[in-house]
């Protein structure tokens, strides 16, 4: 029986987060977009200019009977650096902050538990923002399923491929068969 839920979070470039999360068993869909800011209907250009307050995020539809929200967050938290403020690798700006946007009080409580549990695994303090989701805005169509459509592009090979390799090594038992 499908127990579909939604989760929204961001940790740097949404292409990276999308590529990692969509490989997990129980994930039905991943949509790249924007959330956590103040402008309505933001564009990629406005978000990149830092004037909207939004972060690049993904909204995940997942079957909680197959993968729990806590497990989804654990994979997310270990697939980026949650200890850097407004930065992931060479990407800098508020749009690249580490953020979890719970959809309800239960998700907020789980997010806080996951952050507390994972904290000892990092040398520096976790700076991931936890902020209730207000509105999610899907990104432009050319951002969707980016890695799968552009694997030969330099950014994908240099930045995303290592994340996929780490995922395969660390979470092999949670991967979809076709992506393992």
> What is residue 2's predicted lDDT score, i.e. its pLDDT?
67
Number of independent structural domains in the chain: 1
| 174 Cβ contact partners less than 8 Å away, ≥ 6 residues apart | 24, 25, 67, 71, 75
Look at residue 142 and tell me if it is in a domain.
yes
Average pLDDT over the chain, rounded to whole?
95
Look at residue 179 and tell me if it is in a domain.
no
For 32, the domain range is 4-174
pLDDT-derived band at 177 (thresholds 50, 70, 90) equals confident
Q: What is the mean pLDDT of residues 21-48?
A: 97
pLDDT-derived band at 180 (thresholds 50, 70, 90) equals very low
Look at residue 51 and tell me if it is in a domain.
yes
Distance, in Å, from the CA atom of 126 to the CA atom of 83, rounded to the nearest integer, reads 4
Q: What is the mean pLDDT of residues 93-101?
A: 97
Q: Return the CATH number at 45.
A: 3.30.1060.10
> Quick one: tokens of 41?
């209907």
Proportion of the chain above pLDDT 70, given as a percent: 97
Look at residue 154 and tell me if it is in a domain.
yes
User: Tens digits of per-residue pLDDT, 42-85?
Assistant: 999 999 999 999 999 999 999 999 999 999 999 999 999 999 99
> What is residue 86's predicted lDDT score, i.e. its pLDDT?
95
38-50: b (≥16 Cβ within 10 Å) or e: eeeebebebbeee
Given the residues 13, 16, 48, 156, the one annotated as active site: 13
Examine the residue annotation and report whether 156 is marked as an active-site residue of this protein: no
**Helix/strand/coil for 31:** strand
User: Tens digits of per-residue pLDDT, 128-147?
Assistant: 999 999 999 999 999 999 99
Look at residue 180 and tell me if it is in a domain.
no
Q: What is the mean pLDDT of residues 95-118?
A: 98
Distance, in Å, from the CA atom of 47 to the CA atom of 91, rounded to the nearest integer, reads 13
The overall pTM is greater than 0.75: yes
User: Could you tell me which of 46, 42, 36 has the C-alpha nearest to residue 97?
Assistant: 36
Q: Where are the alpha helices (DSSP H) in the chain?
A: 14-21, 44-48, 69-78, 105-118, 146-149, 154-155, 161-170
> Quick one: tokens of 104?
């309800």
Place of tokens 């939604």: 6
Look at residue 127 and tell me if it is in a domain.
yes
């Amino acid at each position: 029986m499908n127990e579909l839920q939604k989760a929204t979070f961001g940790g740097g470039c949404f292409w990276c987060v999308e590529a990692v999360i969509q490989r997990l068993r129980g994930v039905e869909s991943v949509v790249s977009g924007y959330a956590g800011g103040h402008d309505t209907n933001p564009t990629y250009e406005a978000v990149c200019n830092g004037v909207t307050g939004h972060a690049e995020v993904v909204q995940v539809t997942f079957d909680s009977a197959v993968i729990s929200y806590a497990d989804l967050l654990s994979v997310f938290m270990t697939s980026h650096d949650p200890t850097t403020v407004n930065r992931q690798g060479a990407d800098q700006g508020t749009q690249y902050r580490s953020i979890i946007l719970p959809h309800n009080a239960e998700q907020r409580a789980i997010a806080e538990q996951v952050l507390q549990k994972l904290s000892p695994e990092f040398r520096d303090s976790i700076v991931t923002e936890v902020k209730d989701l207000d509105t999610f805005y899907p990104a432009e169509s050319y951002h969707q399923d980016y890695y799968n459509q552009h694997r030969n592009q330099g950014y994908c090979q240099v930045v995303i491929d290592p994340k996929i390799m780490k995922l395969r090594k660390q979470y092999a038992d949670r991967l979809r068969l076709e992506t393992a």
